[in-house]
Amino acid sequence: MNMLALRCQGDLIVIDAGILFPGHELLGVDVIVPDLTWLVDHEDELRALILSHGHEDHVGAVPYVLSELNPPVYATAFTEALVRRKFDDHELEEEPDIRRMVPGEKFQLGCFTIEPIRVTHSTVDCVALAIETPLGVIIHTADFKIDQTPIDGKLFDLQKFAEYGQRGVLLLLSDSTNVDRSGFTPSERTVYPAFEDIFSRAENAIFVTCFSSSTHRVQQLIDLSVEFGRKVSLIGRSLTSASELAHDLGLLRIPDGVMVRPQDLSRIPKDQQLVIVSGSQGEPMSSMSRAAVGTHRHAVIDEDDIVVLSARVIPGNEKAIYRMVDHLCRRKADVRYGSQNPPLHVSGHASQEELKLILNLVRPKYFVPVHGEYRQLSQHARLAAPLRDNGLEETFILTDGESLVIDEFGARKGSEEIPVGRVLIDMGTGDEILEEMVIRDRRHISEFGVIIPIVAIDRRTGEIESGPEIISRGYVLSEDGELSLDAARRVVEKTVEGSSREEVADLGLMEEKIRTDLRRYFSRKTSRQSRPLIVPVILET
Amino acid sequence: MNMLALRCQGDLIVIDAGILFPGHELLGVDVIVPDLTWLVDHEDELRALILSHGHEDHVGAVPYVLSELNPPVYATAFTEALVRRKFDDHELEEEPDIRRMVPGEKFQLGCFTIEPIRVTHSTVDCVALAIETPLGVIIHTADFKIDQTPIDGKLFDLQKFAEYGQRGVLLLLSDSTNVDRSGFTPSERTVYPAFEDIFSRAENAIFVTCFSSSTHRVQQLIDLSVEFGRKVSLIGRSLTSASELAHDLGLLRIPDGVMVRPQDLSRIPKDQQLVIVSGSQGEPMSSMSRAAVGTHRHAVIDEDDIVVLSARVIPGNEKAIYRMVDHLCRRKADVRYGSQNPPLHVSGHASQEELKLILNLVRPKYFVPVHGEYRQLSQHARLAAPLRDNGLEETFILTDGESLVIDEFGARKGSEEIPVGRVLIDMGTGDEILEEMVIRDRRHISEFGVIIPIVAIDRRTGEIESGPEIISRGYVLSEDGELSLDAARRVVEKTVEGSSREEVADLGLMEEKIRTDLRRYFSRKTSRQSRPLIVPVILET
């Protein structure tokens, strides 16, 4: 859910607008987008939204931002194409104003001059940003690794970083994702030998699952297929879409006659198939998950077919991925997953030596590690500490909603508290935005169950006309015994009967009394950890 | 949730009775124990429950088994002590009959002769079992690694495995947990250098979190503390309890004067403290989690204190553990976690070379890989394939509930289907057993919310006396608009008004009609993925 705002002399620019995929604890939530309250309050100052690259955690919230605000959006060709495709699913009131960004070509936004700088990463057409301000230059690396031998031949622009470093940089913001890995991240090209080995030995179909936007990986698999006489089929909507866009822009080279449509796979001999399938994280409805349980029409995995999981395991997805691998093993597929040597996957993020290299090329006065959890930011800060001898004055760890103020007196954390809540989106109810309260209720019920005591009261006499009924869901109440429906009913009866006419006339008060008495009853009869959600209902007849 | 039954000529023995800790998808469930239906049906044949070692996934369900059945329980000294301690929390009708098992000392159970064989593992006093039957010898390794330099000096009994192998083994059951790791698992002793380095440099307190039963790890930390002049404190109930039991049995050597009670820590200088804390998996209420957020009375972590996570990350716990590490970083502790070289944690399970060594020592006729998910069992089966030249006739992958039948004609999968459901236990409601249905409801509500339409109907006229009221929890209904309370109320009204007197008199039918109509309404107004649980309530007045 990356989003960074820079403000200077009444000009405001925003870098990236990402989404977050929720964990298990956010029940029923499909995606999470940043809270835009502060941006909406500063709409008149907003000059642009600049996108560094096309990954969902950097561009996924663009449609949401453009439904609330209408700044021009700057993006490189591939990122622009990915974002435009998003608008097919969203209706916007105004046509979005998307402007092409080209590495090395500067542009002006109020008092900011922006130069996009080419970097390498796991997807194509990624840039860092050099931002000239009246106080000095700010460099934001965004996501990167330093791939010395990139698949598309487009080198990381080390010279530009050096040039800005030479001239002096006020502030560096740098990617912390892989700060806990020593050494250099291997080149994307490193996976070639392991796949070459598989292609040269395989006597059956080869299936590979990777991230949809891993265009470099797809390129290598296409190249190997050409070399070994296999046909390539892409399965999965986002994978097909991203690969088409890359191909249209000349970023993915596909020789004629190598691709086959998924529905034509059955006509190709198994030992001439290379099938790239989306769903590397074991997402329940993904093509790969369905293929693993044998319910995908076109991705048909047979005994001794090779299946390669060529993607990192995003923390939290382990169980889903392993469940998928289990299913593949039951089908007797030859599954390659986990760490292998030589590797079948390499990361797109810089390791410690690359991070130090950037720090030393840029030699900033101030440093803010970005993109990572607190432990990673603090490790990145520690990594930068030796630079103090070379001009680094201070490192700031900023958590969500914190700001850094730089003026002629130096840099310090801002005192303004920026609202940065999460906005939870439930696709199921049609882009409905869920309140945190709804989620809290769901979580509460999911842990302890819900109990609904219902009673109909005669509004004239104040007496129970019908009930009490007790409905419970997700909570164990028996027909008899200590923790029984009967006993709970009697608790409610006693509450109503022990109340005065005035109390009974006040429905809100009565509901609270019933809730309190029942809660006390349950916590006495069970342990303190059992706290069902209690929702009393009183009907007046 | 390990549990294996062997039956021969009307004699039945059971090896291990473990629990499973539920994942996020089993909401509110505390532990899962095996379904004992089949065992209860065969109670008259049951001769014993034999425990291989004291880990919860092997002994956690013993109290539950003994509340349903009363077989004698065989265990080594440490395992026995751990199990006995469990009964402090459980009331049993009969005193459990626990019998001491000593490696090398055979005992008879019906037609079975059992010999426990000493193995090494991450906890102490672990055994494999050699089981002589009228048809031949069965060897069950249980959990093991082959530690050539164990901390307690008690060697893995390779000779005994060789001896049985020499005589001929009918069936081997062997641990598959680490079958995806190449080479040998390093000795427990391997962590010593990394800890030695920490002890020799640390200028502040050292905190270590590990599994409670990792007695070898605790031993090494105590030894280092003595060497470097630190006092040791153990924090956490299960850790303290397991260490006391090990000490009482002479399995943990603690020199006089080295231990301090947690409440006395504050009197010891920080640079003389070594604090071992339970909660390596980031369990929310564990001592370590509380220390990480600064709410533990005795485990007080200050800036630059060293905190070592010396345990594996159990899949599914990543997020909780990383959240805990983030909190520790915020307190500016120096946190050591993840893979380090030299390692601060080594596994207790055998890697590929050790597994092959066991296969070659034992040379079984039949092989059943155990302890692992399907992908691990199938990888273990593949590892054993080359043994076919050396007498291995067949490998069987058995999933839960499957059986293997061996007789004079050979071995084959049994046709009998054994019920092996899970029994879900919610500690919150006092050892109440939850039905799968309760869990289904919780999960349903947690994803989609719940809607409770309530209406009071006059039983004489069949007319609505009060309501309909619509209560929703975890579901978004607005005051107005398409998906509103009002509209839902009108749906229910229409259902009731459009029903005949006979229909209204049948409450069950009316509830079903209301449920159906509301479900249709919601699926029309929202996408198909949104299916709140609908629980109609009709009160008769």
Q: Are B234 and B226 in contact (CB under 8 A)?
A: no
Nearest CA-CA partner of B404 in B1, B9, B7:
B7
Q: Establish if B444 belongs to a structural domain.
A: no
Same structural domain, A227 and A316: yes
Q: Map tokens 């399938």 to a residue.
A: A277
Domain end, chosen from B286, B307, B336, is at B336
Report pLDDT for B447: 73
Q: Where are the alpha helices (DSSP H) in B103-214?
A: 158-167, 191-201
Instruction: Output DSSP code: residue A465.
Output: E
Q: Is A462 left (phi over 0), alpha (psi -120 to 50) or beta?
A: left
A301: closest CA of chain B, how far (Å): 16
B328 contacts in chain A (CB < 8 Å): 375
Report pLDDT for A426: 57
Same structural domain, B159 and B204: no
**Which residues, in sequence order, are bridge partners of residue A334?**
A306
A111: closest CA of chain B, how far (Å): 35
Same structural domain, B252 and B283: yes
Segment A115-146, tens digit of pLDDT: 999 999 999 999 999 999 999 999 999 999 99
Same structural domain, B18 and B151: no
pLDDT, chain A, mean: 88
Q: Which of B446, B448, B452 sits opposite A452 (nearest CB)?
A: B452
Same structural domain, B425 and B412: no
Q: Map tokens 């440093």 to a residue.
A: A367
Q: Are B289 and B324 in contact (CB under 8 A)?
A: yes
Is the pLDDT score of A80 beyond 50?
A: yes
Give dist(CA B155, CA B120) in Å, integer.
7
Q: Is B28 left (phi over 0), alpha (psi -120 to 50) or beta?
A: left
Q: Establish if B412 belongs to a structural domain.
A: yes
Domain end, chosen from A368, A394, A417, is at A417
Is the pLDDT score of A184 beyond 80?
A: yes
Q: How many domains in chain B? A: 4
The SS3 of residue A95 is: coil
The alpha carbon of A158 is separated from its chain's Cα centroid by a whole number of angstroms, namely 29
Give dist(CA B519, CA B231) in Å, integer.
65
Selected residues 300-329 of chain A with any CB under 8 Å from a CB in chain B: 315-316, 318-319, 322, 325-326, 328-329
CATH of the domain at A121: 3.60.15.10
Q: Establish if A290 belongs to a structural domain.
A: yes
Give dist(CA A256, CA A453) in Å, integer.
69
Is there a contact between B466 and A540 if contact means CB atoms under 8 Å apart? yes
Same structural domain, B158 and B287: no
Least confident of A97-106, A423-432, B306-315: A423-432
Q: Is B285 exposed, middle or buried (0-12, 13-18, 19+ CB in 10 A)?
A: exposed
Same structural domain, B283 and B326: yes
Same structural domain, B196 and B331: yes
Selected residues 110-129 of chain B with any CB under 8 Å from a CB in chain A: none
Choose, out of B445, B492, B525, the residue to mutate when testing the contact with A (most A CBs < 10 Å): B445
Please state the rounded mean pLDDT for residues A435-463: 73
Report pLDDT for B134: 96
Q: Are B345 and B175 in contact (CB under 8 A)?
A: no
Give dist(CA B353, CA B359) in Å, integer.
10
Q: Where are the alpha helices (DSSP H) in A18-101?
A: 37-41, 56-59, 62-68, 77-86
Report pLDDT for B430: 45
Give dist(CA B11, CA B45) in Å, integer.
5
Element (H, E) at B329: helix B318-330
Q: Establish if B156 belongs to a structural domain.
A: yes
Segment A453-511, tens digit of pLDDT: 888 887 777 778 777 878 777 776 655 555 677 788 888 888 888 887 777 777 777 78
In this prediction the pTM is 0.78
For chain B, the first-to-last Cα distance in angstroms comes to: 51
Please state the rounded mean pLDDT for residues A337-347: 88
Nearest CA-CA partner of B127 in B78, B89, B198:
B78
Same structural domain, A120 and A67: no
Same structural domain, B109 and B97: no
Is there a contact between B428 and A529 if contact means CB atoms under 8 Å apart? yes
Report the chain A residue with the minimal C-alpha distance to residue B330.
A374
Is the model more confident about B328 or about A436? B328
Q: Establish if B410 belongs to a structural domain.
A: yes
Report pLDDT for B483: 64
Please state the rounded mean pLDDT for residues A141-162: 96
Domain end, chosen from A395, A417, A439, is at A417
Report pLDDT for A424: 65
Is there a contact between B474 and A28 if contact means CB atoms under 8 Å apart? yes
Choose, out of A476, A521, A540, the residue to mutate when testing the contact with B (most B CBs < 10 Å): A476
Report pLDDT for A30: 63
CATH of the domain at A456: 3.10.20.580
Res. A430 pLDDT band, cuts 50 70 90: very low
Burial A353-370 (b: 16+ CB within 10 A, else e): ebbeebbebbbbbbbbbb
What is the full DSSP assignment across A369-414? EESS-HHHHHHHHHHHGGGGGGT--EE----TT--EEEETTEEEE-
Is the pLDDT score of A256 beyond 80?
A: yes
Q: Map tokens 């915020």 to a residue.
A: B330
Q: Establish if A438 belongs to a structural domain.
A: no
Segment A360-382, tens digit of pLDDT: 999 999 999 999 999 999 999 99
A527: closest CA of chain B, how far (Å): 5
A303 contacts in chain B (CB < 8 Å): none
Q: Is B482 exposed, middle or buried (0-12, 13-18, 19+ CB in 10 A)?
A: exposed
- Pairing type for strands A231-235 and A273-277 reads parallel
Give dist(CA B257, CA A396) in Å, integer.
44
Per-residue tens of pLDDT for chain B, all 541 residues? 899 999 999 999 999 999 887 655 555 556 788 888 899 999 999 999 999 999 999 999 998 899 889 999 999 999 999 999 888 766 666 788 999 999 999 999 999 999 999 999 999 999 999 999 999 999 999 999 999 999 999 999 999 999 999 999 999 999 999 999 999 999 999 999 999 999 999 999 999 999 999 999 999 999 999 999 999 999 999 899 999 999 999 999 999 999 999 999 999 999 999 999 999 998 877 899 889 988 899 999 999 999 999 999 887 788 889 989 999 999 999 999 987 888 999 999 999 999 999 999 999 999 999 999 999 999 999 999 988 888 999 999 998 889 999 999 999 999 887 877 767 665 544 445 555 666 667 677 777 777 888 888 877 777 777 778 787 777 766 555 556 777 888 888 888 888 877 777 777 777 888 888 888 887 777 665 667 788 888 777 6
Sign of the torsion angle spanned by Cα atoms A131, A134, A137, A138: negative
A333: closest CA of chain B, how far (Å): 10
For chain A, the first-to-last Cα distance in angstroms comes to: 51
Selected residues 168-197 of chain A with any CB under 8 Å from a CB in chain B: 180
Q: Establish if A439 belongs to a structural domain.
A: no
Beta strands (DSSP E) in B257-339 are: 273-277, 306-309, 334-336
Structural domain that includes position A519: 449-540
Please state the rounded mean pLDDT for residues A429-448: 63
Give dist(CA B20, CA B18) in Å, integer.
7
Same structural domain, A536 and A410: no
Same structural domain, B144 and B89: no
The reply to whether B90 belongs to the active site is no
Rg of chain B over Cα atoms, rounded to whole angstroms, equals 29
B541 contacts in chain A (CB < 8 Å): 456, 465-466, 541
CATH of the domain at A248: 3.40.50.10710
Q: Establish if A442 belongs to a structural domain.
A: no
Is the model more confident about A50 or about B479? A50
Catalytic residue selected from B175, B305, B426, B517: B175
The residue type at A314: I
Check CB contact of A375 with chain B, cutoff 8 Å. Answer: yes
Check CB contact of A434 with chain B, cutoff 8 Å. Answer: yes
